[in-house]
Structure formats: structure tokens, C-alpha cells
């Protein structure tokens, strides 16, 4: 059974105030280490534990970003997600007469979950028993002195809504929202839970479920005829989404990919770089072209199979009836001898499956750009990424147009101004520069196309950062990103094949293993 990834949203905004839980559990036990291994307890009442005492580790707010709403095109500033109560993280606080410590009411955690296994067992026609196990990690580092000691355990009762949408035969989009109640906890130094017996924990669970029931009953009244909202889709959108998903799967399964390793010099020192994603590239710059043998017609898109050789040797004989690389002006084949060769790499024609997309993108951009290169990046997991950079190489010419098509899982695309791009020395200029330094975030979904043109590369940097747990609908599929470019001189060809093919192993997708596997092809 495929893994379902749940995106948790701990917010309970828009809900009525919590009806106070039973006052019988009104004792506070502080488990705050004064030094390593030390334990301090303070009892406020002569009764047993209150489960509202400790929170899991707190975190500070993430770096503020401006998120671009894809529907309105406007920037929506994300606010800090942490609320610190008076007195610090572990100070005692009061909420509607209830004492507690840890994060103040109104704060929030942000966690990332490793890929785990969600198992469902059907017990009744409308009832499944679920079992899910994984590790969760902080999105940011813990503030100094916050959180409970290592070894502390928690027992939560989660009451939530899981929305699931089938994407293809083996992939589902899932979104989980709701509430979680602290049922019990066990400190690192204790041999018993705060509610030590099974009977008492069951009674506590019934009490919490009754609280959840009261919350639902306390929601604003609705008319009997009011329908549950259905996601609005443009006509044909479902068919397009299915097509985009199939296209991503096809390209992942059919194309040869590479995990390029190379060295660069920084400050006089050589640094080894391992590309943090799978890459591949097809095409050749304006000074050369592909022709079919015994034909004068140019062919950049008539290859019948995708070659994956990494010898980078132009002297190797091409397969029969395959396009031949020639000089654009003289039509002289570029395979006569290594000493006369224009390229050290071996350019490859754009295969039909990508050339169809190239032609469609040229028509959609409608600015006269004719692309001769197709670069494909495969982000298999949220750990695959590309750091901030700009495509401002001279071999692309001045103010190049670059089209970027996303297929499969959604990922965030970040843009930020290059340092000094805003210019100026006054306070106003510096304020503008500081605002410009904050990244803009574009959540790109399957089928989205982003165009970078004009002075974008001169003034902006862009990246696809790591994200634990892929966003969107195709976590198991990963993200295929296809960029269409035009290189005008041989330096572009050399650059693209060096950094996107290299001379290492060829990787192919293996369905039986569910991952990219290095091959000996």
C-alpha cells in the first residue's frame, strides 16, 4: 500500500473557546532541569497530575518570507508562529483559571515528518483502524533552555479531519487538520505515566472526546440545505492534472539521469560539489545543429530513443539512422577527428517527448524565443534542492528568456534580489534594500509554468530549497522540472553537459525498487 503523507496543521483558529476540562486534575508538576540530570517539582494542589502541563519542544519563528498567492498574484506576508508568554518558556502561566507551563497559548510548532508507513485496517463498513509510525523533526532549532528533557514521552489523543484525493492508481493527496489533546505524559526520570492506570486513561479519553463533541456542537448553526464546499475546477482541469502526472511519471521512467560530481575553485582552494538532485540535458547551441543522415533537413527532435552514453567522445560511431551533429553554417559533420572537434562533450538531440513540450512552450511564451536546450531536474525527495543562483551566463546572451515547467509534486520556488541590486545609500534606499532581501515564495504545482525574462537574471537569484515532506499531490512521484533555454555559443553546450551529464554513472528509475538506481549502461 502506498504511503500517505499527512500535512499537519495544529491551528485551531475559528473554534469556540475551549470549555474547561475537569477541575479534578488541577495539579502542576514542573519538570525543569536546573542542571543536567537535575529535577525540580512544585505541587500547587494536593492532587494528581494535570495533562495540560508540558508541551513538546518549542521553536522560534521561521524566517519571514513573502509568499505569492497564485490566485491573486499578491504578496502575503507570513507572520511569526511563536507566542512567548510572560516569564519565559517554562514559567507557570494561567489560561481561564487553568495553570500550565511551556509554550504560551497562541503559539505554534512547525515539524517535518520523515517518510513513514501509514497502515489502515478496515474493521467496519465506515471504520478503519490506523497505525502510523515515523520520526518528526523540528523545522528550526530549539531555543536554548526550552522544551522537556530528552526521554520525556507523550500520549496524545488526535481528533481530526483527513481529506484525501486520488491522483493516480498509486498516489493520493492528503491533508490532515484538527486538534490534539494531551492525554498523559511520562517524564524521563519516572517509571510511571502521569495518569498511571489504563482505567484512568480511558476515563480521561472519554472526557476529552466529550470536550471535542461540545466543540462541534458549539459551532455556528447551519441550514439543513447547506452543501459541503467542493473544490472549484476549471473545465478540463481534472484531465489536465491527470495528464501532467502521467507526463512526470513517463519522463522519470524513460530519461537517463545523472548525479553529477565536479570541483570548483573558491579562494584558490578546490571544492568538491555533489549535485543535490538528478539532472539530464539535451540540445546544442546555435552554432551547430542535428541533421538526419542523407537528408538536408534539420532534426533536433527526431531521435527514436533516448541515448544515455556518458563517454563524451565524438569519435564513437552514432547509432544507425540517428541525427548527425553538423556545423550550422558549413554543414560539416563534427565527428571527423578529436583534434578538430568543436566540443569535448557529446551533444544529444532533444528527444520527441521533450521536443513536443518545447514547441508548446515556444507557442505559449509567444515572444519569438526559439529554445535549443532542454534541461531536466528530478527532485526525488524533499532533500533534493538547488541553491540560490542566477542563469546569467554570457553564453545565453543578454536578457535571456527561460521557461520553467513543473510536473509532479509541488515545490516552493524562491526569488530574492541580488546583493546591491537595489542600490542607493540613503536610509530610504537601505530600507528598500532590506525589504528586497526578503525572498518571494512561489508555490509551484504540477502543470505550472514560470517564465523568467528581461532583467530577471541580472537582478534576481532563485532557488528550490529543501523541504521535508513533499508538498502537493505526488510525494511518491517527486518533482520533474523542465527548463527551456537558448545557448548562442559553444561555451553553453560545454557548460550544460559538464554540469548536467558529467562523466559519472547513469541513473534509471526502477519501479520494483521505487527509486533511482545506478546502472552500467
**Three-state SS annotation for 55-80:** CCCCCCCCCCCEEECCCCCCEEECCC
Cell of 108: 505554534
- Give the list of residues 6+ apart from residue 276 with CB closer than 8 angstroms, or none: 383, 384, 385, 386
User: Highest-confidence range of 224-238, 258-272, 499-513, by mean pLDDT?
Assistant: 499-513
Within 10 Å of residue 337's Cβ, how many Cβ atoms? 9
Name the residue with higher pLDDT: 49 or 492. Answer: 492
| Separation of alpha carbons 288 and 325, rounded Å | 7
| Separation of alpha carbons 39 and 54, rounded Å | 14
Name the residue with higher pLDDT: 300 or 184. Answer: 184
Segment 478-505, tens digit of pLDDT: 899 999 999 999 999 999 999 999 888 9
User: Can you give the pTM of this predicted structure?
Assistant: 0.59
Q: 483: annotated binding-site residue?
A: yes
Confidence of residue 15 (pLDDT cuts 50, 70, 90): very low
Q: 379: annotated binding-site residue?
A: yes
Q: 109: annotated binding-site residue?
A: no
Domain ranges across the chain: 8-217, 254-281+346-519
Confidence of residue 366 (pLDDT cuts 50, 70, 90): confident
Within 10 Å of residue 191's Cβ, how many Cβ atoms? 7
Segment 268-299, tens digit of pLDDT: 888 888 999 999 999 999 999 999 876 555 55
Q: 377: annotated binding-site residue?
A: yes
What is 254-281+346-519's CATH topology? Jelly Rolls (2.60.120)
Please say whether the beta carbons of 130 and 119 come within 8 A: yes
Determine the 3-state secondary structure of 473 from DSSP.
coil
Nearest to 439 by CA among 75, 146, 194: 75
| Separation of alpha carbons 314 and 176, rounded Å | 54
Q: 49: annotated binding-site residue?
A: no
DSSP state of 461: E
| Separation of alpha carbons 428 and 434, rounded Å | 10
Name the residue with higher pLDDT: 471 or 223. Answer: 223
DSSP state of 395: G
Name the residue with higher pLDDT: 25 or 362. Answer: 362
Determine the 3-state secondary structure of 432 from DSSP.
helix
Cell of 420: 546591491
Please say whether the beta carbons of 107 and 81 come within 8 A: yes
Please say whether the beta carbons of 291 and 299 come within 8 A: yes
Please say whether the beta carbons of 94 and 75 come within 8 A: no
| In the chain, % of residues over pLDDT 70 | 71
Q: 425: annotated binding-site residue?
A: no
Asked if pLDDT for residue 310 goes beyond 70, the answer is no
Name the residue with higher pLDDT: 145 or 324. Answer: 324
Amino acid at each position: 500500500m502506498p504511503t500517505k503523507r499527512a500535512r499537519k496543521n495544529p491551528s485551531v483558529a475559528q473554534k469556540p473557546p475551549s470549555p474547561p476540562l475537569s477541575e479534578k486534575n488541577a495539579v502542576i508538576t514542573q519538570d525543569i532541569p536546573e542542571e543536567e540530570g537535575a529535577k525540580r517539582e512544585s505541587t500547587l494542589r494536593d492532587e494528581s497530575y494535570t495533562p495540560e502541563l508540558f508541551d513538546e519542544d518549542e521553536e522560534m519563528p521561521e524566517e519571514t518570507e513573502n509568499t505569492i498567492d497564485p490566485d491573486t498574484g499578491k504578496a502575503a506576508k507570513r507572520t511569526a508562529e511563536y507566542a512567548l508568554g510572560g516569564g519565559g518558556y517554562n514559567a507557570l502561566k494561567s489560561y481561564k483559571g487553568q495553570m500550565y507551563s511551556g509554550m504560551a497559548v497562541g503559539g505554534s510548532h512547525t515539524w517535518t515528518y520523515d517518510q513513514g508507513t501509514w497502515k489502515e485496517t478496515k474493521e467496519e463498513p465506515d471504520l478503519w483502524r490506523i497505525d502510523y509510525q515515523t520520526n518528526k523533526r523540528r523545522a528550526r532549532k530549539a531555543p536554548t533552555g526550552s522544551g522537556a528533557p530528552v526521554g520525556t514521552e507523550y500520549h496524545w489523543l488526535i481528533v481530526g479531519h483527513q481529506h484525501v484525493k486520488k491522483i493516480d492508481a498509486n498516489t493520493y493527496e492528503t491533508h490532515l487538520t484538527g486538534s490534539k489533546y494531551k492525554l498523559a505524559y511520562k517524564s524521563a526520570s519516572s517509571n510511571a505515566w502521569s495518569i498511571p492506570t489504563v482505567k484512568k486513561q480511558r476515563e480521561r479519553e472519554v472526557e476529552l472526546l466529550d470536550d471535542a463533541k461540545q466543540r462541534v456542537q458549539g459551532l455556528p448553526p447551519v441550514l439543513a440545505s447547506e452543501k459541503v464546499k467542493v473544490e472549484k475546477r476549471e473545465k478540463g482541469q481534472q484531465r489536465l492534472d491527470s495528464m501532467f502526472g502521467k507526463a512526470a511519471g513517463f519522463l522519470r521512467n524513460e530519461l537517463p539521469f545523472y548525479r553529477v560530481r565536479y570541483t570548483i575553485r573558491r579562494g584558490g582552494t578546490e571544492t568538491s560539489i555533489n549535485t543535490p538532485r538528478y539532472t539530464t540535458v539535451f540540445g546544442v547551441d546555435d552554432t551547430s545543429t542535428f541533421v538526419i543522415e542523407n537528408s538536408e533537413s534539420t532534426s533536433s527532435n527526431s531521435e527514436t530513443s533516448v541515448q544515455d552514453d556518458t563517454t563524451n567522445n565524438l569519435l564513437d560511431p552514432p547509432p544507425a539512422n540517428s541525427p548527425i551533429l553538423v556545423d550550422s553554417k558549413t554543414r560539416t559533420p563534427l565527428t571527423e577527428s578529436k583534434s578538430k572537434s568543436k566540443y569535448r562533450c557529446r551533444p544529444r538531440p532533444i528527444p520527441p517527448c521533450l521536443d513536443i513540450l518545447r514547441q508548446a512552450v515556444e507557442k505559449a511564451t509567444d515572444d519569438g524565443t526559439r529554445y535549443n536546450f532542454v534541461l531536466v531536474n528530478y527532485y526525488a525527495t524533499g532533500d533534493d534542492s538547488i541553491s540560490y543562483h542566477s542563469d546569467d551566463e554570457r553564453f545565453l546572451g543578454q536578457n535571456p528568456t527561460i521557461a520553467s515547467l513543473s510536473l509532479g509534486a509541488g515545490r516552493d520556488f524562491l526569488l530574492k534580489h541580488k546583493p546591491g541590486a537595489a542600490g542607493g545609500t540613503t536610509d530610504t534606499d537601505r530600507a528598500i534594500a532590506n525589504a528586497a532581501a526578503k525572498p518571494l515564495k512561489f508555490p509551484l504545482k504540477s502543470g505550472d509554468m514560470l517564465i523568467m525574462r528581461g532583467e530577471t537574471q541580472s537582478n534576481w537569484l532563485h532557488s528550490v530549497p529543501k523541504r521535508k515532506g513533499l508538498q502537493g499531490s505526488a510525494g511518491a512521484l517527486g518533482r520533474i522540472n523542465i527548463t527551456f533555454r537558448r545557448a548562442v555559443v559553444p561555451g553553453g553546450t560545454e557548460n550544460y553537459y559538464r554540469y548536467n551529464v558529467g562523466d559519472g554513472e547513469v541513473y534509471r528509475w526502477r519501479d520494483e525498487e521505487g527509486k533511482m538506481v545506478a546502472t552500467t549502461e
